[in-house]
Amino acid sequence: MKQKQSIKKAETNWFYSETVKEHFFNPRNICKTEKELAEFKKEANGYGITGSPVCGDQMEFLIKVDLATDRIKECRWRTFGCASALASTSVLSEMITEKGGMKISEAVKLTPQDIIKRLHGLPAIKVHCSVLGDQALRAAIKDYLKRQGKESQ
């Protein structure tokens, strides 16, 4: 009986929104294996990698951009991180690819606060995790612009 009570108590101590929970358990656009990452990397036209010395997480982010419209059509990512890093990047990947894809000029303006808002909040101690995906996306966009000869944009 005591074990059931402690399990029940643990279930009610989830400090994240249902959106965070959903994206943590069912991340979107994630590369689950080295092979998936390598295959998408061949097709991507933007690649970024970043890490956080605060928590030791590392993030890789890849984008495919429609060159005619400058819209992000697809993205994939991989992280070694916590629930907040996974959920933040998963929701970010949806934000930039939904509705036909976000223009590069719009995607570069996204902030960690935009991601947190879409997640319906994060615990204050985990806000830094939302920055990982944001920084990795910015690195991928910078790489894309460099490859296209548009570095000054």
**Cβ(57)–Cβ(79) below 8 Å:** yes
Could you please report the per-residue DSSP string of 114-153? HHHHHTT---GGGHHHHHHHHHHHHHHHHHHHHHTT-TT-
In a domain, 62, yes or no: yes
> What is the rounded distance in angstroms from the CA atom of residue 50 to the CA atom of residue 134?
10
| Predicted pLDDT of residue 93 | 97
Does residue 83 form part of some domain?
Answer: yes
Amino acid at 150: K
Give pLDDT, residue 51: 83
Residue 88: predicted pLDDT: 92
CB 104 within 8 Å of CB 78: no
- pTM for this prediction: 0.84
pLDDT digits (tens, 9 = 90+) for 29-62: 999 999 999 999 999 999 999 986 566 778 899 9
Residue type, 30: I
Q: Which residue in 31, 55, 75, 82 is the catalytic one? A: 55
CA-to-CA dists, residue 50 to 21, 71, 81, 117, 140, angstroms: 24, 22, 12, 22, 10
Positions in the chain short of pLDDT 50: 1-10
| AA identity, residue 116 | I
Identify the pLDDT of residue 128.
Answer: 76
In a domain, 1, yes or no: no
Its domain, for residue 30, covers 16-147
CATH number of the domain enclosing 115: 3.90.1010.10
Please state the domain count of the chain: 1
Q: Does residue 152 fall inside a structural domain?
A: no
Asked, for residue 55, whether it belongs to a domain, the answer is yes
Instruction: Indicate if 55 belongs to the active site.
Output: yes
Residue 54: the pLDDT is 64
Evaluate whether residue 9 is within a structural domain. Answer: no
